[in-house]
Amino acid sequence: MGSLIFKNIRKVYPGGVVAVQDFNLNVDDKEFIVLVGPSGCGKSTLLKMIAGIEDITDGELYIDDILINDVQPKGRDIAMVFQNYALYPHMSVYQNMALGLELRKVPKAEIKSKIKNVAKSLQIEELMERKPKALSGGQQQRVALGRAIVRNPKVFLMDEPLSNLDAKLRAEMRIEIIKLHSELETTFIYVTHDQTEAMTMGSKIVVMKDGCIKQVATPRELYDAPANIFVAGFIGTPQMNFINVKIMYEEEETFITFGGFKIPISKKTAEILKGKNYKNSGELIMGIRPEHIGLSGENEKYNVSGIVEVIELMGSETLAHMNVGRGRITMKISSENYIKAGDKLDLIFPKEKLYLFDKETEEVI
């Protein structure tokens, strides 16, 4: 078993620096949880508190319903994989993998058997006698994973383990870690600032900012139903476009307006706005993802005109950065549509793809 419960966890460093505050989360056994957020949001500090490397200032942390606030790291049955791999340079790969087991007085024959099986699964059998300096970054990463796996812990903690690898190797190692989770059936808690890693690896994602949770959801839920502007802008590449708009109620339809343009919104959204007492001409923030903006047809009643500023060719897709009214947006379209800087485009913003956020709270409406 490897379930975790965080109750009002808080970490304050000397000088009153709050790294984590009011953190509440339940992690089920065998889940793959990803903590994601910008640098300094508290995700690595949280991981260190789970491992026992950092003390918890306030709150309670349970593993399998046992309070572990005061339990020493060696008594928590947790294995951690660090960003810099933390391999002992004077030891061989075999010795690095065996050390943790030796400290736990595991019989030599059992150690040898475990390392052999794990090395085979990670395809590092031929590296057993090498020292870390003779290994590539990807090989060092596999050894670090292997060292954690042989311990068969309740919980795996991974602190940005792929950040030192090149793009191709990162993609390969993402797949390997996903496969490992499936094979080991153990709880994984993975920290990253890379939303691609978060979206492709986690069964549940915890988005953090300034030491707080902004949203906990599946990857699909984060993309389709962000709870606030921060999550909406953090999840998705390129990030969601945001434009200051005003509400316009008419007899038959409700619109949002900006820069002289009118965009109709759905009846359901209009009813929510009225129900929450948003007034005519009230200000909101509209969000729309670059991939949801379309090129307007000739018979479209409502469209938005934009002037292309910069083009980025991405292979099968093109990113068009353009001025729209007084704002600036990015649009993602097929590269089959040839456009260039200076072109004027008529755009359509589908009403079912629009997000509206309160300007004060920045929460989704």
- pLDDT interval class at 252 (50, 70, 90): confident
Q: Does 1 have pLDDT greater than 80?
A: no
Q: Check if the beta carbon of residue 146 is closer than 8 Å to that of residue 157.
A: no
Q: Does 98 have pLDDT greater than 80?
A: yes
- pLDDT interval class at 109 (50, 70, 90): very high
Q: How many percent of the chain have pLDDT more than 90? A: 71
pLDDT, mean over the chain: 92
Number of other residues whose CB lies within 10 A of the CB of residue 291: 15
- pLDDT interval class at 83 (50, 70, 90): confident
Sign of CA dihedral 78, 23, 180, 121: negative
- Whether cis (ω within 30° of 0) applies to the bond prior to 238 is yes
DSSP string, 143-197: HHHHHHHTT--SEEEEESTTTTS-HHHHHHHHHHHHHHHHHH--EEEEEES-HHH
Q: How far apart are CA 235 and CA 199, in angstroms?
A: 8
Per DSSP, 108 falls in state H
Number of other residues whose CB lies within 10 A of the CB of residue 236: 18
- pLDDT interval class at 131 (50, 70, 90): very high
- pLDDT interval class at 357 (50, 70, 90): very high
Q: In terms of residues, how long is the chain?
A: 365
Tell the residue number behind the tokens 């708009």, with chain if given. Answer: 245
Domains of the chain are 4-234 (3.40.50.300), 241-358 (2.40.50.140)
Structure tokens at 52: 């026992």
pLDDT digits (tens, 9 = 90+) for 136-192: 888 898 899 899 989 889 999 999 988 888 888 888 889 989 998 998 889 999 999
Q: How far apart are CA 284 and CA 249, in angstroms?
A: 14
Q: Check if the beta carbon of residue 187 is closer than 8 Å to that of residue 109.
A: no
Three-class DSSP category at 232: helix
Question: What pLDDT does 346 receive?
Answer: 92
Q: How far is the CA of 125 from the CAs of 81, 121, 169, in angstroms?
A: 20, 9, 19
Q: How far is the CA of 74 from the CAs of 70, 101, 142, in angstroms?
A: 12, 12, 23
Question: What pLDDT does 325 receive?
Answer: 82
Q: How far apart are CA 231 and CA 40, in angstroms?
A: 16
Q: Does 297 have pLDDT greater than 80?
A: no
pLDDT digits (tens, 9 = 90+) for 6-41: 999 999 999 999 999 999 999 999 999 999 999 999
Q: Does 82 have pLDDT greater than 70?
A: yes
Q: Does 301 have pLDDT greater than 80?
A: no
- pLDDT interval class at 298 (50, 70, 90): low
Q: How many percent of the chain have pLDDT more than 70? A: 99
